[in-house]
Amino acid sequence: MGTFAAIGIAGSGLDVYRRWLDAVSDNLANINTIRPTGEAAFQARYIVAESIDNEGGNSGGVQATGVALGSAEGRLVYEPNHPLADEQGYVRYPDVDMSSQMVQLIQAQRGYQANAAVIDRAKDMYSTALTIGRN
Amino acid sequence: MSIPPISGISAAMPAAVTQPPQTMPVSDGGAGFGTSLASAVDGLQAMQSTSSALAIKAVTGDLSDVHDYTIAATQASVAMELTATIRNRAVDAFNEIMRMQA
């Protein structure tokens, strides 16, 4: 996509930030998912982003190459009245930090907005180019 | 008897201008422009069909990314403007030539 490369590049950015939003949303949704100590805790999802080479005809951009998972160990919390508690009264909470996830939520939102702004500006610029010499 | 050229002007003008003009090849210029415009319209049509396919996905709930549709629609609209501008400029040029009179 040579003519509208900026739109395609910013679109790849939107894609990655949308995936990040999905991951944060998953982590926050499972922040209180309790498992018995005999099982693995919910593992936080982290998006792995990688730049696309902008040489050899590629226009560049970013892509999500995969997902990295957080600790399966989680943290042990003493809740003896919990139905899933073991003999010592412990349950396994996921190792997800609420404040860190909220920060990532804002980062994902702002990144998404920035890429959307790039698309808008790029469209404005292409439209400006079309008005050259009109009068 | 030969008339000498006006030396001041011939010295100031580039040599190529004072030469008789070369005949320009005009054989397939019109066909070339028509072909390019047709292929541009084909590309535009492909973009618009991508955009409408994504619009259908959006209303049926199969769209995974909202921005996929809006980007495709934006690209189709800018490409439409570009093609229309090219066509309008060509028609303007044609009309300009048609207005030439003795």
Domain edges within chain B: 27-98
Average pLDDT of chain B, as a whole number: 79
- Please give the tally of structural domains in chain A: 1
Say yes or no: A130 contacts chain B, CB-CB below 8 A: yes
CA–CA dist B88, B34 (Å, integer): 13
Residues of B in contact with A11 (CB under 8 A): 67-68, 71
Residue A135 lies in a domain: no
Task: Answer yes or no: is pLDDT of B23 > 70.
Answer: no
* Tens-digit pLDDT profile for residues A64-115: 999 999 988 889 999 999 999 999 999 999 999 999 999 999 999 999 999 9
Domain residues for the domain of A93 are 5-130
Nearest alpha-carbon partner for B70 in A40, A135, A5, A10: A10
Q: Do B71 and A7 count as a contact with CB atoms less than 8 A apart? A: yes
ipTM: 0.75
* pLDDT at residue number B36: 84
Can you list the positions of beta strands (E) in chain A? 35-36, 45-51, 62-69, 75-78, 90-93
Task: Answer yes or no: is pLDDT of B101 > 90.
Answer: no
Give the distance from residue A38's alpha carbon to the nearest chain B alpha carbon, in angstroms: 36
